Structure 1
Amino acid sequence: MEVVVVETPEEAARVVADAYTALLRRTPAAVLGLATGSTPLPVYRELARRHREEGLSFSAARAFLLDEYVGLPPGHPERYREFIRAELERHVDFAPGAIVGPGDLDAAPLDAGPAYERAIRDAGGIDLQILGIGSDGHLAFNMPMSSLASRTRVKTLTTRTRQDNARFFAGDIEQVPTHCLTQGLATILDSRHAVMLGFGRGKAQAVREAVEGPLSSRWPASVLQLHPHATVVVDEDAAGQLAFADYYRSTYAGKPVGQGL
């Protein structure tokens, strides 16, 4: 696991966008894993800028989403597929149908997980998976105590999670779905390169436990310790509890020129 400590989320976006740029120029038909939420937004905005100003192309690439609500109709503004459409797809040149979410396969919820696993496998696997870490250490909808060997599946949303997400549904918890589809932790481990982002003091404990703590389902993001090519990119606030922060800074600063993430 490589840990990169930067000053701001905007600097993190440039670092991660460099990895996307190198991958897409090396492998135009790369398979990308896309996360939703506020954490990856600076990366998506930087990628859109590079497409607009520097010609970075996604035209041959494919992408898979990490998760999706169950029960929201197509086009609902709170579907994660709509988030990606608004924040990334509309601003770059993905081909029609190139982006797929776990709720897009016309399968019943209990069948959608295995179908999604097959779709990812048939596409050749995910080359670069972007992730955000929750303040409780969750990845996607793999909440604390999720199996470290889990695969894409239906999950029941806890009351706390639904309360937290009610702000996106006019404050009404009754409008928040009770279930979701999410890639599992083992699915995430199958990606060739996993990049986890964490910003702000509220993520500091989770980042510390994921990077320097024991492997534990209490902190699902700690599963990335098992990944053969995992990169954690955090700002100074999120790195505030890391015991080896100076080591991470020095090793990143000393990387060979052109090595990338």
Structure 2
Amino acid sequence: MNTTTLDLNCDMGEGFGAYKMGNDIEILDHVTSANIACGFHAGDPPTMRRIVAAALAKGVAIGAHPGLPDLQGFGRREMKISPAEAYAMVVYQVGALAGFAQAAGGGLNHVKPHGALYNMAAKDRALADAIAQAVFDFDPGLVFFGLAGSEMINAAHALGLRSACEVFADRSYQDDGSLSPRGQAGALIEDADQSLAQVRQMLTGSVRAVSGLQVPVRADTLCLHGDQPGALDFARHIRGALTTDGVSLQAPVRQ
């Protein structure tokens, strides 16, 4: 394989109040980075505190997972926001999670936008620039997670902000390297073996789009969604297979 080192990240802390989602604590045993919701699309202060403490205890790198202010839509519905609004939203949310990390004796390692904010910034350079600038201004040592080949990665490079090109184990791809929309048939990959085959191919530098086209891709960090059915078994299967393949699993180191 061309890539011998890979980060396994998972979006988590996405319950709030009486609502719980995912097997966060158990999944932490199988990933190297945790992207923790910051209260806008999901999450709340007690959940943030609990997941931060658990991640620190298990040696998992902590990242902020800022999203759009849309609890009902789980941050997956597009909103027309200006770059200035995006900047402020990201600084606010990253600051909130950083506070919990500091209070627990740790710190932030990375930032990964969530849902619609992520997908919008992948294609909109002005939005990507605003989000990357927010991360840089908050802490220029943080790692910025963005879709491989997207405007987020370009924006990070322009600032000198360290980036990690993200690929997905459980999502299919379009010809332009974007993720298939969730409402489209075949957008989600639920078969663990099919997902593993995709991951192995991405580690060699390409991914097969739904059209059959081979799309170039760089894989620095692999997302395993914690809210999908059977997420724990999925994460266990992927990690075990990659370890057997000789892939070194570790979080990207902040500057």
TM-score (norm 1): 0.35
Q: Name which one, 1 or 2, has greater alpha-carbon Rg.
A: 1
